Structure 1
Amino acid sequence: MESIITITGNVKHIITLDPTVWIFDDRKIDLDTFFTEVHVEKDEDEEYKKSMGSHWSREIMEGATFPPTLKTEKKFDRKKMVTGTFGISLDHFLKNAVPSEDAKAITFITEDDNEKSFPITESGNFIFKFSQEGKPLKEDGPVHLLLKDGSNRENPMKKIIGITIN
């Protein structure tokens, strides 16, 4: 089984995804709690601008101060990484592929040549599940396609090997 997924078609950049490294990605979603808790979507660019603006203002008023390295490093819960079930939102990758303005659909292709298409406007509603109880999805992976509303949690699309933007 190949663990690489490509985003091709009507895009500016062809993207190659490797789900085996997403366990270290800060954008991963804990699927054990995602469908049971209320989540607020944050615009990462807006959060960054706000934090940089306040940092800039503080530097103007107080002068530059450099924080100790250990306080700014992100800590990972190692136990959670080896026992958790994780996914990642597909829209992070679609932004980098830059679909054309005239793109109408997103099609997911499976290992056994099945295809399922959705309108491109729904692209923010997809989660790629890449880990089950700390282990990669080797049998029916590399990823499972879940909808953010949880409607297909029991029967996700499996064995996805490609994404085509039409």
Structure 2
Amino acid sequence: MNDIIIISGKVKYTITLEPSVWIFDDRRIDLTTYFSTNKVNANSLEDYTKSVSKHWDREIMEGAIYPPTLKTEKKFEKEKVLTGTFGIPFKPFLVNSEPADEAQTLVIHSTDGDYEVLLERAFDLILAFSDTGKPLNADGPVHVYFGDGSNQQDPIKNVRAFTVK
């Protein structure tokens, strides 16, 4: 239970985060390339529609039986999950907690101290949960990165909770 992180404070719903299950989450991002690539504000619904359409087109053209290339792609993805360095955007969790209208800041509670972040900036945070395929046991369960990568070399470590104020 030491790896459970709570979002509480001026929120409508208290959220419990379990970083060990994020490896299976489709929202995970590869941190080895995330801060070095150009980010485009993409519409997630549009991306989803395009991916489903691509999959549907592939099934129409090739049939529902997976060709050898698709099997190879799946094997590559499984290996990537076992050896990759991943994070997950904090925004969906913060949005689901429904911060109060008067909320202004997010306090990141760490064993190293507390860090205050403006709520607008908190929506861009990235929570790292895996390094080379292994959970962040020594100084985790998560590391917090700012969305712009300004603390990429020195993330906030030993995070224990988040409080919206």
Give the shorter-chain TM-score range: 0.7 to 0.9
Matching residue of 2:70: none
Q: Is 1:2 aligned with 2:2?
A: yes
Deviations 1:136-159 (A, max 9, x none): 000000000111211111111101
**Structure 1 residue 45: Cα displacement:** 4.5
Matching residue of 2:116: 117
Q: Structure 1 residues 43 and 123 mapped into 2: Cα distance closer, same or farther (>3 Å)?
A: farther
Q: Which runs of 5+ in 2 are unaligned?
A: 54-62, 68-73
Deviations 1:59-118 (A, max 9, x none): xxxxxxxx95979xxx57111011110001100100110001110100000135x10001
Q: Which amino acid aligns with 1:40?
A: V
| Separation in structure 2 between the aligned mates of residue 108 and residue 11 of structure 1, nearest angstrom | 15
**Structure 1 residue 124: Cα displacement:** 2.2
Q: Which amino acid aligns with 2:147?
A: K
Matching residue of 1:99: 99
Q: Is 1:158 aligned with 2:152?
A: no
Matching residue of 1:12: 12
Q: Structure 1 residues 87 and 101 mapped into 2: Cα distance closer, same or farther (>3 Å)?
A: same
Q: Answer whether contact 2:4 2:18 (CA < 8 A) is retained.
A: yes
Q: Percent identity?
A: 40
Matching residue of 1:39: 39
**Structure 1 residue 43: Cα displacement:** 3.2
Matching residue of 1:64: none
TM-score, normalised via structure 2 length: 0.81
| Separation in structure 2 between the aligned mates of residue 126 and residue 42 of structure 1, nearest angstrom | 17
SS of the residue corresponding to residue 95 of structure 1 reads: helix
Q: Which runs of 5+ in 1 are unaligned?
A: 56-66
TM-score, normalised via structure 1 length: 0.80
SS of the residue corresponding to residue 121 of structure 1 reads: helix
| Separation in structure 1 between the aligned mates of residue 160 and residue 130 of structure 2, nearest angstrom | 16
Matching residue of 1:136: 135
**Structure 1 residue 121: Cα displacement:** 1.2
Q: Which amino acid aligns with 1:133?
A: T
Matching residue of 2:71: none
Q: Which amino acid aligns with 2:157?
A: K
Deviations 1:44-66 (A, max 9, x none): 34656xx4xxx9xxxxxxxxxxx
| Separation in structure 2 between the aligned mates of residue 122 and residue 42 of structure 1, nearest angstrom | 19
Farther-moved stretch of structure 1 (36-45 vs 95-104): 36-45
RMSD, aligned α-carbons = 2.5
